[in-house]
Amino acid sequence: MITTVSSIVLVTQNKVNMTLLKVKRSAMNLGFIAFLISSFSLSVNAADVAAGKAKAEALCNACHGPNGNSQIPDIPSLAGMPPLSISNTLFYYREGNRKNPIMTPIAANLTNAEMKDVAAYYSSQKREVTYNTKPENIEAGAKLAQQYNCTQCHGPNLLGVQHIPRVAGQNHDYLLTQLKGFKAMTRADMDGNMSSAVSAIKLEDLVLISDYAAGMKSQ
C-alpha cells in the first residue's frame, strides 16, 4: 500500500554536507533511501568509471550513442548529465516507478553499483550539441525558461543539478515527448514537480522551450 503522506528525510554524509530530500512514503522509497545513502558513501563505495565505460560500451551506447551522445531523436543523450540523475532514473526503471518497454528490462539486470558506475562514466563525457535553435526562439525560450522556473531547478544553463536531469542540448524530440508526457501526467514524475511546472504552459510554448533547450551549447 502506498500512502501519499510526504516526509522529509535528511541524509548526511562526510563529503556531502546535507541533502534535503522530500519523498513520498512507500515501500519503494525505503529501498530508495538506502540507495541514496549508498550513493553518498563515496569513500567506501566509489563509482568505477572504467567499469561504467565498459558496461556502457557493451550494453548502452548502441542506442545512447558514442559516449552517450545519442544520434536517435527519441533516445536521450546521457553525456554530461549529473550522475545522480542517471543512477536515480535507472533505479526508478528497475523498481517500476518509471516504465518503459526498452529500459525497464535493461535496468532490471543492473545492480546498484553498476548503475553508479555507468552514471559516473556518462556524467564525465562531453555533450556534443549539433542542434540549432531557430533564431527567433533563442530570446523567447530563455524568457520562458525564467518565467516558468525551469532555470531555478535545472540550473541557470539547464545543465541539471544533482537528481534533476540536464535538459540543455538534449534531443529535441525526446524533450518534447517528455514535456507533453508531464503535462498529460503520463510520464513518471518522482515528486510531482514537473507536472506542476508545465501544467499551465500551452503546447506551443512547450514546443518553443524544447527548441530552445535542445540547441543550448552550454557545458
Footprint on this chain of ligand HEC (rule: CB under 6 A): 59-60, 62-64, 75-76, 78, 86, 89-90, 98, 100, 102-103, 106, 118, 148-150, 152-154, 164-165, 167, 175, 178-179, 188-191, 193-194, 197-198, 201, 209
Which backbone phi and psi does 141 adopt, to 5 degrees? -65, -45
Cell 503546447 sits on residue: 203
Minimum separation from the CB atom of position 128 to ligand HEC (A) = 16
Shorter beta-carbon distance to ligand HEC: residue 23 or 103: 103
What cell was used for 16?
556531502
Q: Which of 80, 81, 96, 116 is nearest to 190 (CA)?
A: 96
Going along 51-192, which residue ranges are E strands?
none
Minimum separation from the CB atom of position 14 to ligand HEC (A) = 25
Q: How far apart are CA 68 and CA 87, in angstroms?
A: 14
Shorter beta-carbon distance to ligand HEC: residue 53 or 64: 64
Minimum separation from the CB atom of position 132 to ligand HEC (A) = 18
Cell 553525456 sits on residue: 79
Minimum separation from the CB atom of position 211 to ligand HEC (A) = 11
Q: How far apart are CA 85 and CA 71, in angstroms?
A: 21
Shorter beta-carbon distance to ligand HEC: residue 37 or 153: 153
